[in-house]
Structure 1
Amino acid sequence: MKVLISGTAAAGGWPVPDCGCASCARLAPGHRRPTDVVLDPARVPCAVAVPADPVRLPPTGPLPPGYQVSTGPDGLILTAPGGERILYAAPLPSRSGARDGQPWTPARAEGSRDPERAEAERTAFDLVLMDVLDRPERLGNLRRRGVIGERTHVVAVDIDHRVATEAELTRRAALWGVRAVPDGTVLDTGESAPARTARPRRTLLLGGTRSGKSAEAELRLAAEPEVLYVATGPSGDDDTEWVRRVRAHRERRPAHWDTAETVDLAGLLRSAEVPLLIDGLGTWIAAVFDGCDAWSGGGHREVTARCDELVAAWRQTRVPVVAVSDEVGLGVVPATSSGRMFRDALGRLNQRLALESEDVALVVAGRVLPLPV
């Protein structure tokens, strides 16, 4: 079935008229028009030949015979006469069960009491149209449940100034295995979807405090069906400010991710079967210093041995891993000897892991600066 993606932007378009933000200011008016999808298995031969009575998504009127439309746990489902299935998973209006302006909340197939609905959720769609900028972790949820399969075309719609530039949109789309097509693109759902861009196995993200490095790490793995989030920091039950930080991180993670709170990073790297997000190496080094009683000047050999073990496991891991670490080389020299030992140990570890990583980047003020070899 041929599908014409004649518009890909949110209701206001991109740029949004009269918007003063930097994202909109970079673009000429009408750069992307509001989302409009036209489909007909026989009569959409090219981008300039739109049928007189097209089927549109979102629907604007009664559908021709043979087409069926329904709402499911993830959005609007349209079935064509030939059996092709399209999921429009962008935010839905209130009549479909979601509040106006709010994203559709995904349901989990394993929690459904309706066998037919559960089976439908496990069947991959031919095309998924989705507002990926709102909650990209929905992609991972859909992939985990089989709603998005290897042959599914996934197209970003409802695009707007939530992303800074077209280049950033393209970068995120590549990370998430999504197509960010220009207005006027024609897709053939009978063809296989383009293969996802190969991921680096090991990624190290460096940055200072509140640089956005953790958010970038989560963005890198947002569309994966399974992720193990590895929290290396203390629970901080006696520190209310730290408890708030930990809670904020937990609430930001996708609900279908698993979490491990541990300092045994080497063991996890050797045994993991799903992608890992390690946040972060600074708190891991602090815990190693605690365990080796290194703050007072002893335990240096033990700290070095633990770092050696981590680097060896990092080198041998067989799953994608994204690790967050503090860039310690840009600040003032610590006033205490223990602070200087900590800075030196973490700096050396960053260098060694970077040497063994396919992808290394510095995050500054939320902007990602790749660090080439």
Structure 2
Amino acid sequence: MSELLLLGTGSADGWPNPFCRCASCLGARARGEVRGQSAALLDGVLLLDCGPEAPRAALRAGTDLAGVQVLLLTHSHPDHTSPAPVLWRSWAGRREPLVVMGPADAVAPFADWTGPDDPVRLVAVEPDGSGAPDEGTEVAGYRCRAVPGAHETPVVLWDVTCPDGSRLLYATDTGPLPEAALERVAGRAYDVVLLEETFGDLHDHGTGHLDLTTFPRELDRLRSVGAVTASTRVVATHLSHHNPPTPELAARLAAWGAEVHRDGVALTVGAGPGGPAVDPLPRRTLVLGGARSGKSTHAERLLADRGDVVYLATAGTRGPADEEWQRRVALHRGRRPAGWSTVESSGTDETVRLLTTPGPPLLLDCLSLWCTAALDRAGAWEQERWAGEAEHAYRAEVDRLLAAWRDARRPVVAVSNEVGSGVVPATWSGRLFRDELGRLNAAVAAASERVDWVVAGTVQRLRG
């Protein structure tokens, strides 16, 4: 088995940015987390990217670069390509052959730092992956295949097969992968994938990078072609201060089967899953929160790495004259990945059918509106009717819903409002809704493996 040493897991400016005092940077400094520019060392032999910080990062990790025989460059940006170390190598008297491979504009500067007698061979590959044999080039026992990425400058990602047959995909910097990349990695079943995740919760950056919205979608695409499998370790790298604090980032990545590590961590390539345990989504998850707390966004994030989610919108339809409501609906629709399907229904029959039918994950948003519709159908808003047939009809619908929830045949995430923490409603109907939604939430929570509470956009795990 091979060893992959993470020399750096940060973006161009690292994390924390040394000039920044945002909450993310101050928190990272307080935790002693300093991430340098992304680079990795495989078995002490193959160096993936060589920015100005990589040589010192190796020393801080307790190793050196004396045994490096292969340098794979992704692109010419200075945080990934610094040619000076080949000169330092010659000063140390290293005479072993060194092959430097990457896009032409990344490889070319190394010629100015290499003497005529230095044993350094420069190999340019095309950004589309051509210019090298389709099966890759074997160097020092490692088979290196160029994979096209998506960036504002020519970039290649690297598919490396180790001497023992284990496989690594080094995928930074890149935005959403081009179709040519998916074709090239299809069926590779990598042991480890280092996938960039630069911009975290900043989604309007307009760059050739991934963020916490596009990262899980790329994971889904990689899984769909067999590049990522159940035994693949997926590690987020090229991280910036636009990400949430590492503990929160780790929890969000874990929901998608991905990991985050500090600089200097060594991973075993070919050993199957390891490191921090992933946090697979259980069969039933309830997400609670107040109005505009971020509960729906959190529920969507839990399923963001799945392209086949069924979204059950329980609001139903309202008249076109309600423009404010239509804007809310449009906002929700706009957040959903293109591959998700939507069912608009607040009816119990449709909800029970979807819960008890095997299929892809179901996102039910939300129980509050379902409760409102069930009370409507029962005619429960008139106090004199409640104690009779209205309450009986409503309770029958709740019992059917809870039975279906307990018998769910697919992973399901339900969203609901927490309305019992404010003042006592002034009207009987308001108190009825508060009480019944509280009872419904408690019953659903009791039958759920996981319960999350969202307050001001932050998530507290209550169960699971």
Distance 1:191 1:41, change over 3 A: farther
Distance 1:278 1:31, change over 3 A: same
Partner of 2:297: 215
Partner of 2:101: 62
> Per-residue CA shift, 1:209-264, capped at 9, x if unaligned?
11011111112222235322211112333311111111111111222222222232
Give the C-alpha shift of residue 367 in structure 1: 1.2
Partner of 1:184: 264
Which of 104, 127, 147 in structure 1 is aligned with 2:192? 127
Distance 1:69 1:252, change over 3 A: same
**Native 8 Å contact 2:281 2:302 kept in 1:** no
Q: Give 3-state SS (helix, strand or coil) of 1:31's partner.
A: coil
Of 346-355 and 172-181, deviating more is 172-181
Partner of 1:48: 63
**Native 8 Å contact 1:203 1:358 kept in 2:** yes
**Native 8 Å contact 1:226 1:275 kept in 2:** yes
Of 129-138 and 116-125, deviating more is 116-125
Take 1:356 and 1:117, find their aligned partners in 2: how far apart are those partners? 40
Give the C-alpha shift of residue 76 in structure 1: 4.0
Partner of 2:374: 288
| 1:136 matches 2:152 | no
**Native 8 Å contact 1:7 1:34 kept in 2:** yes
Which of 167, 189, 193 in structure 1 is aligned with 2:247? 167
Q: Give 3-state SS (helix, strand or coil) of 2:259's partner.
A: coil
State the TM-score, normalized to the length of structure 1. 0.84
Distance 1:86 1:270, change over 3 A: same
> How many pairs are equivalent?
356
**Native 8 Å contact 1:123 1:146 kept in 2:** yes
Give the C-alpha shift of residue 42 in structure 1: 5.4
Unaligned runs of 5+ in 2: 48-57, 76-80, 82-99, 103-122, 124-136, 139-143, 201-210
State the TM-score, normalized to the length of structure 2. 0.69
Give the partner amino acid of 1:248: L
Distance 1:174 1:79, change over 3 A: closer
| 1:333 matches 2:424 | yes
Which of the pair has more CA radius of gyration? 2
Distance 1:69 1:280, change over 3 A: same
Distance 1:276 1:81, change over 3 A: closer
Partner of 2:445: 354
Partner of 2:52: none
Q: Give 3-state SS (helix, strand or coil) of 2:101's partner.
A: coil
Q: Percent identity?
A: 40
User: Greater relative contact order (Cα 8 A, min sep 6): structure 1 or 2?
Assistant: 1
Partner of 1:35: 38
**Native 8 Å contact 1:39 1:54 kept in 2:** no
Kindly report which structure 2 residues correspond to 1:1-12, keeping only aligned pairs within 5 A, or say none: 1-12=2-13
| 1:257 matches 2:340 | yes
Take 1:137 and 1:180, find their aligned partners in 2: how far apart are those partners? 14
Give the C-alpha shift of residue 119 in structure 1: 7.5
Partner of 1:200: 282
Partner of 1:104: 176
Give the partner amino acid of 1:68: R
Partner of 2:22: 21
Of 262-271 and 209-218, deviating more is 262-271
Partner of 1:152: 232
Q: Give 3-state SS (helix, strand or coil) of 1:32's partner.
A: coil
Take 2:433 and 2:441, find their aligned partners in 1: how far apart are those partners? 12
Give the partner amino acid of 1:71: P
Q: Give 3-state SS (helix, strand or coil) of 1:80's partner.
A: strand
Take 2:157 and 2:46, find their aligned partners in 1: how far apart are those partners? 21
Distance 1:79 1:154, change over 3 A: same
> Per-residue CA shift, 1:38-91, capped at 9, x if unaligned?
336856899614334443453545356533313068984423365765444445
Which of 293, 297, 311 in structure 2 is aligned with 1:229? 311
Q: Give 3-state SS (helix, strand or coil) of 1:294's partner.
A: coil
Take 2:73 and 2:373, find their aligned partners in 1: how far apart are those partners? 53
Partner of 1:96: none
Take 1:136 and 1:191, find their aligned partners in 2: how far apart are those partners? 24
**Native 8 Å contact 1:277 1:321 kept in 2:** yes
Distance 1:248 1:105, change over 3 A: farther
Give the C-alpha shift of residue 207 in structure 1: 0.8
Give the C-alpha shift of residue 305 in structure 1: 0.8
**Native 8 Å contact 1:76 1:88 kept in 2:** no
**Native 8 Å contact 2:14 2:37 kept in 1:** yes
Partner of 1:95: none
Give the partner amino acid of 1:343: R
Give the partner amino acid of 1:137: P
**Native 8 Å contact 2:160 2:167 kept in 1:** yes
> Per-residue CA shift, 1:163-198, capped at 9, x if unaligned?
332211221222121121221223332221337434
Give the partner amino acid of 1:78: W
Distance 1:199 1:14, change over 3 A: same
Q: Give 3-state SS (helix, strand or coil) of 1:70's partner.
A: strand
Give the C-alpha shift of residue 309 in structure 1: 0.8
Of 222-231 and 280-289, deviating more is 222-231
